[in-house]
Amino acid sequence: MSARILLVNGPNLNLLGTREPEVYGTATLSDVERLTTDAAAAAGYEIRAIQSNHEGVLIDAIQAAREDCAAIVINPGGLTHTSVALRDALTGIALPFAEVHISDVHAREEFRHHSYLEDVAAVRVIGRGVEGYAEAVRRLTALIP
């Protein structure tokens, strides 16, 4: 098993730091990647990061992870509430994964309350800001044999 974790950030997360800072804060995607890399390194893992606004690109990266990753940390953004295909990719590769959301999706619009990943994620971290990524890494690495 590889000592690598795939970090997946979905649509619009490239806008972190400028998009709705009252909801998502002012940390950028680079800040998230650095925070996640540091948390993974502390547990003996490296991070490979991808962000895309295109569902197929994310699915391709997830499928490729089965070759050289031990786990996945994913913030699927809006795809959380819409993508059966993303769920199928994650369950199809049989790697443990953590679902992360910066905001508390349950305190927002009703359509955000449903996640296609919630019943298959090994770890869920919701509403902890960008620090939730580091928490997800710590909790996920504790589960990897």
CATH number of residue 71's parent domain: 3.40.50.9100
Instruction: Tell me the residue range of the domain where 137 lies.
Output: 4-143
45, 54, 101, 106: the active-site residue: 101
Q: The dihedral of CA 116, 121, 127, 131: what is its sign?
A: negative
Active site residue 116: no
24, 45, 116, 133: the active-site residue: 24
- Consult the annotation and say whether 12 binds a ligand: no
Q: H-helix or E-strand containing 15? A: none
Helix (H, G, I), strand (E, B) or coil at 97: strand
Measured between alpha carbons, how far is 46 from 108 in angstroms, rounded to an integer? Answer: 33
- Consult the annotation and say whether 75 binds a ligand: yes
Q: Confirm whether pTM is higher than 0.75.
A: yes
- Give me the long-range contacts of 27-31 (CB less than 8 A, separation at least 24): 27/129, 27/130, 31/130
- Consult the annotation and say whether 9 binds a ligand: no
| R_g of the chain, CA atoms, integer Å | 14
- Consult the annotation and say whether 112 binds a ligand: yes
Q: Give the distance, in angstroms, between the CA of residue 130 and the centroid of all CA atoms in the same chain.
A: 11
Active site residue 24: yes
Structural domain total, the chain: 1
List the chain pLDDT tens, one digit each, 145 residues: 469 999 999 999 999 999 878 878 789 999 999 999 999 999 999 999 999 999 999 999 999 999 999 999 999 999 998 899 999 999 999 999 999 999 887 767 786 778 989 999 999 999 999 999 999 999 999 999 7
